[in-house]
């Protein structure tokens, strides 16, 4: 499938392409399509993250309506918690979106987090690349992951962190790594009044402690109620303003190149991890670790075995270029 065919084929073609990258990620057809989509983006990716229950799905629903009223097409990647039995997505986020199946300008895809700590699925980035090539706006909504939101910065062009009042989120936000992540901060449930205003004040105080960004961007803190619409227009304006800010310089291309390199490193790490575990499993599954034994020594011993194996492989790999 070519990018032209993908754009002309509507929802069925996009669904087929996304299934292709799930089932045959290394197939030449898949790689060619992803490379073509990477080189010709049509829109930008907005990452939405924050703790469970903050209202990310409600905000996603409001953003879809807002952009569709402007005539823009919207793709949504909703990363759901994994089923403990099947490993698939539980579809909780998707069920909360009031999207008409007849609307050809909206496409929603659910992905299972598969237990990834940062709340993102391994397929999220290539899926976003495809959607970005055919939609004006792409929303990447993560699982509610508390303090692990920084992973989304490696996937989205613009990152919005949503927090809720009277929950202690503002204090958690001061932890190292989180203050550097967001491009836009939104205190949800602004209709609660005073608690929301206090949370916003706490967040502004937290952000004042963050070192200035190299590109000069200052992340705004907004009050937002997806239920009433309060602050939604300003939220959209700030998100689109951030993207325009990046696009005016080389920052956007640099950011996307860094994301590509990050995804490649993560994919290689995942592959070697799976290969190592399979190697150990096939060698002596009953001797690796028994339930009830302390797992840490067993894990260290397994790591040492893998280190020796991959050291030999590394030497052989490097020698092959000599």
pLDDT in tens, 260-275: 877 776 776 676 677 7
Q: Tens of pLDDT along 20-66? A: 988 888 788 988 888 888 889 999 999 998 887 788 888 999 999 99
CB 112 within 8 A of CB 80: yes
CB 53 within 8 A of CB 42: no
At residue 119, the pLDDT reads 42
At residue 178, the pLDDT reads 63
CA–CA separation, 132 and 79 (whole Å)? 16
Q: What CATH code is assigned to 41-248?
A: 3.40.50.300
Token couple for 246: 């990046």
CB 45 within 8 A of CB 138: yes
Q: Which residues of the chain have pLDDT under 70?
A: 80-96, 98, 112-121, 143-150, 167-179, 265, 268-269, 271-272, 277, 280-281, 283-296
Domain boundaries, the chain: 1-40, 41-248, 258-319
CB 49 within 8 A of CB 177: no
CA distances 318 to 303, 311, 322, Å, are 22, 11, 7
**pTM metric for this prediction:** 0.79
The pair phi, psi for residue 310, each rounded to 5°, is: -75, -20
The alpha helices in the chain, defined as continuous H runs, are 3-8, 10-23, 28-39, 56-69, 92-95, 124-134, 169-173, 194-207, 232-247, 251-283, 285-288, 295-319
């Amino acid at each position: 499938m070519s990018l032209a065919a993908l754009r002309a084929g509507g929802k069925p073609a996009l669904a087929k392409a996304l299934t292709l990258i799930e089932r045959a990620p290394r197939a030449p057809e898949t790689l060619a399509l992803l490379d073509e989509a990477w080189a010709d983006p049509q829109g930008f990716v907005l990452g939405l993250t924050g703790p469970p229950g903050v209202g990310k799905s409600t905000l996603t629903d409001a953003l879809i309506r807002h952009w569709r009223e402007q005539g823009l097409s919207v793709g949504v990647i909703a990363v759901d918690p994994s089923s403990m039995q099947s490993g698939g997505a539980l579809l909780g986020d998707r069920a909360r979106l009031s999207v008409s199946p007849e609307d050809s300008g909206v496409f929603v895809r659910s992905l299972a987090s598969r237990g990834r700590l940062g709340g993102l699925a391994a397929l999220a980035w290539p899926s976003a690349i495809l959607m970005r090539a055919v939609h004006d706006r792409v929303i990447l909504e993560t699982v509610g992951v508390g303090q692990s939101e920084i992973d989304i910065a490696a996937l989205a062009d613009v990152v919005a962190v949503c927090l809720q009042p009277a929950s202690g989120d503002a204090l958690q936000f001061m932890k190292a790594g989180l203050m550097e992540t967001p491009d836009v901060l939104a205190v949800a449930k602004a209709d609660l009044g005073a608690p929301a205003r206090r949370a916003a004040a706490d967040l502004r105080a937290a952000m004042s402690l963050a070192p200035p960004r190299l590109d000069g961007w200052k992340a705004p803190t907004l009050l937002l109620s997806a239920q009433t619409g309060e602050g939604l227009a300003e939220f959209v304006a700030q998100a689109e303003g951030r993207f325009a800010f990046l696009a005016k310089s080389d920052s956007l291309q640099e950011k996307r190149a860094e994301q590509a390199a990050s995804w490649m490193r993560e994919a290689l790490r995942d592959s070697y991890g799976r290969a190592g575990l399979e190697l150990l499993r096939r060698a002596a599954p009953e001797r690796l670790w028994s339930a009830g034994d302390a797992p840490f020594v067993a894990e260290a011993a397994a790591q040492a075995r893998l280190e020796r194996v991959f050291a030999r492989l590394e030497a052989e790999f490097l020698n092959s270029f000599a």
